[in-house]
Amino acid sequence: MSKEPEAGAERKSERKSLRPLAALAPYLGRYRGLVAGALVALVAAAVTTLALPMAVRRMIDHGFSESDAGFIDTYFMMLAALAILLALASAFRYFFVITLGERIVSDLRREVFDHVTHLSPAFFDQNQSGEIVSRLTADTTQVKSAVGATASVALRNLILCLGAIAMMIYTSPKLSSLVLAAIPIIVFPLVAFGRSVRRRSRQAQDTLASASAYAGEAIGAVRTVQAFNAEQSARDRFGSAVETAFGAARSAILARSLLTGFAIAMVFGSVVAVLWFGAQDVLSGHISAGTLGQFLLYSVFAAGSLGSLSEVWGELSQAAGAAERLTELLDERPAITAPARPTALPVPPRGALDFSDVHFAYPSRPGYRSLNGLSFSIRPGETVAVVGPSGAGKSTILSLILRFYDPTSGRVMLDGVDLRSADPEEIRSRIAIVPQDVTIFASTIADNIAFGLPGASPERVRAAAKAAQAEEFISRLDHGFDTMVGERGVTLSGGQRQRIAIARAILKDAPLLLLDEATSALDAESEKLVQKALDGLMGHRTTIVIAHRLATVLKADRILVMDHGRIVEEGTHQSLVRQGGLYAKLARLQFDHGEEQSTAAQ
Ligand SMILES: Nc1ncnc2c1ncn2[C@@H]1O[C@H](COP(=O)(O)OP(=O)(O)OP(=O)(O)O)[C@@H](O)[C@H]1O
């Protein structure tokens, strides 16, 4: 999805036609029963349709000239039986084909989502989440219509077309040779047209995906948009994105209309010309009127199905574009994976952490080093605070500990094991984090707390909430722990969200605790209470505390002072203040009023 592969895919898609749809074959393979049912119904419907003209010929040539009324009755009975058979086959075809489409798209949606959740944060730094969601919804829907309705129409028309051509040759080889001579003249331009439709459809879909991504972002941040009176500019931006998408869609539609019109004109034009020759043959007595009637019906079938084929070809091409984008997404490999034979972390966990000469640049910003030769060690059970100016690289340290990214050079080790050689899932199972941006899901409070430990008993959830000083506000909500919180927790205050996150971490009870500005949104009173809860939690486990408010780090065993991606000072509060460096400067700025220091030092 990044720029390079996108350009490559574009080039490929111009060369290939429906090949991306082949990626769906494994999915079809899972439902052989449905596929077989669909094929049987398809063939039955086509054969029944092809039998109709023969009955018609017999009726024209013999039926009306016979005085025997029973003869006509027999033919009509046969026609009625064929009609019933056709109706049944069509109903079954619809059932099998549409079920197959729905089934496959459900599998595909699940697989794409599963895959996306495994991709590394680096992927999400470079791709908009809205665009990924659009692939998950719009592209899979397009694939569904291809696998379902469109493919069955295409297949039915293909069988019908081939069958009708065969029957045309059987009925009148001479007239058929005239028709067949016309086919290449019709088909070549169609293929060329099809390519251009495909390219335009992909453009339309791409512009629509970026418009939806923008809409997702603006709607998600609607409060910010309104607070800045930015509705008009958001509307303009989305409006122009939608118009661009419409322009791209219109050009695809125009190409498709031309394709359809051209196909029909060519096909029916040649049918009329051929029939003129047929009429001459009937007049000169070379063939019977019934035979010409039969030939006429077969050529109408062949032409009609060819016309429909050209129409669904466009749709299939569109679906091929969608399948291609989904395949691209499924082919995206996570940057962070478990090694083939991961080194097991020691049991029981100790919680020792080492950074040795770590350099790191985010993959989305390779030219800028966020960490610059960072080295430090944290002993099991130690509480270490990391402070420093904004952008110094504090949160980046936590991202590396969670192995969201690998260092550009140097090593990060947990309990003596290089994170690169361990299984990321095992690493993360030993870490509880209270992040800077707390994520609350649109679910109940209890679900949100139990997020870190699915299946936790209600008692444990309650105990964790209590320890995080969250029980009181939760009990005041309408339905207590069963209260639904809005998307991203909009119905909670910042401090309440933070306490939910703390409860989540308490419940997870992991040996390594990472607190990134965990109490920044709390008032002084709650902060003191939560701090007490956290103190209890930190007591027996390794903890890294990131905080701008120095009052919250006074009790740390050690303070690391960071600037420009490296550690510039290290020590306790007192020793650092005495050194008179960056920390002393930050402390002076914050504690100058004196009162905070006295409260915090208590
Ligand atoms: N996902 C990212 N992609 C690219 N650059 C990033 C990313 N996240 C952070 N950075 C950059 O890395 C540097 C360090 O960021 P980091 O978030 O670690 O700083 P911080 O010390 O935690 O700051 P703050 O106190 O403001 O949270 C910054 O210059 C930032 O712009």
Q: Residue 15: pLDDT above 60? A: no
Q: Fill in the DSSP letter of residue 342.
A: P
Q: Are residues 314 and 442 in the same domain?
A: no
Torsion sign across C-alpha atoms 465, 471, 476, 478: positive
Q: Are residues 159 and 294 in the same domain?
A: yes
- When pLDDT is cut at 50, 70 and 90, the band that residue 360 belongs to is very high
Q: Are residues 59 and 176 in the same domain?
A: yes
Any domain includes 399: no
ipTM: 0.95
Q: Is the CB of 435 under 6 A from ligand 1?
A: no
- When pLDDT is cut at 50, 70 and 90, the band that residue 157 belongs to is confident
| Residue carrying the six token digits 């941006």 | 437
Rounded to whole angstroms, the Cα distance separating 229 from 81 reads 69
Q: Fill in the DSSP letter of residue 593.
A: T
Domain of 458: which CATH number?
A: 3.40.50.300
Any domain includes 537: no
Q: Residue 401: pLDDT above 60? A: yes
Q: Are residues 134 and 263 in the same domain?
A: yes
Helix H segments across 221-288?
222-227, 231-283
Q: Are residues 159 and 307 in the same domain?
A: yes
Any domain includes 207: yes
Q: Are residues 311 and 442 in the same domain?
A: no
Residue 506: which of 547, 437, 451 has the closest Cα?
A: 451
Give me the pLDDT at residue 64, please.
60
Any domain includes 487: yes
Q: Is the CB of 394 under 6 A from ligand 1?
A: yes
Helix H segments across 284-367?
289-331
CB of 467 closer than 8 Å to CB of 536: yes
Q: Residue 391: pLDDT above 70? A: yes
Domain of 271: which CATH number?
A: 1.20.1560.10
Ligand 1 atom 29: residue of nearest CA: 391
Q: Residue 359: pLDDT above 90? A: yes
The last residue of a domain, from among 494, 509, 524:
509
The last residue of a domain, from among 278, 305, 331:
331
Report the mean per-residue pLDDT for the chain. Answer: 82
- When pLDDT is cut at 50, 70 and 90, the band that residue 10 belongs to is very low
Any domain includes 25: yes
- When pLDDT is cut at 50, 70 and 90, the band that residue 1 belongs to is very low
Q: Is the CB of 399 under 6 A from ligand 1?
A: no
Q: Are residues 312 and 439 in the same domain?
A: no
Q: Which among 128, 395, 405 is the best mutation to test ligand 1's pocket, defined by most ligand atoms within 8 Å of the CB?
A: 395
Q: Residue 599: pLDDT above 50? A: no
The last residue of a domain, from among 509, 532, 558:
509
What b-and-e string marks burial along 467-493, b requiring 16 or more CB atoms within 10 Å of the CB?
bbbbbebbeebeeebeeebeebbeebe
pTM score of the predicted model: 0.71
Torsion sign across C-alpha atoms 48, 54, 56, 59: negative
Give me the pLDDT at residue 602, please.
37
Give me the pLDDT at residue 140, please.
86
Q: Residue 7: pLDDT above 60? A: no
Ligand 1 atom 5: residue of nearest CA: 362
Q: Residue 521: pLDDT above 80? A: no
Instruction: Output the CA 553–ligand 1 centroid distance in Å.
Output: 21
Chain centroid, CA 296 distance in Å: 49
* CB-based contacts of 564, cutoff 8 Å, min separation 6: 372, 392, 393
Averaged pLDDT, 498-512: 88
Q: Is the CB of 362 under 6 A from ligand 1?
A: yes
CA distances (Å), 560 to each of 355, 384, 539, 569, 590, in order?
A: 13, 7, 19, 6, 17
* Domains held by the chain: number: 2
Any domain includes 224: yes
Percent of the chain with pLDDT over 70: 92
Q: Which of 299-303, 453-457, 572-576, 596-600 tops mean pLDDT?
A: 572-576
Q: Residue 532: pLDDT above 90? A: no
Any domain includes 121: yes
Q: Are residues 317 and 443 in the same domain?
A: no
Instruction: Output the CA 392–ligand 1 centroid distance in Å.
Output: 7
Domain that holds residue 469: 432-509
Q: Are residues 438 and 320 in the same domain?
A: no
Per residue in 425-480, pLDDT tens? 899 989 998 888 888 888 889 988 988 788 888 899 999 898 888 888 888 888 88
Helix, strand, coil percentages for the chain (3-state, nearest 5): 70, 10, 20
Q: Are residues 122 and 232 in the same domain?
A: yes
Any domain includes 485: yes
Per residue in 414-439, pLDDT tens? 998 999 999 988 999 899 988 888 88
Instruction: Output the CA 397–ligand 1 centroid distance in Å.
Output: 10
> Side chain identity at 17, as an amino acid letter?
S
Q: Which among 129, 336, 355, 370 is the best mutation to test ligand 1's pocket, defined by most ligand atoms within 8 Å of the CB?
A: 370
Higher pLDDT: 364 or 13? It is 364
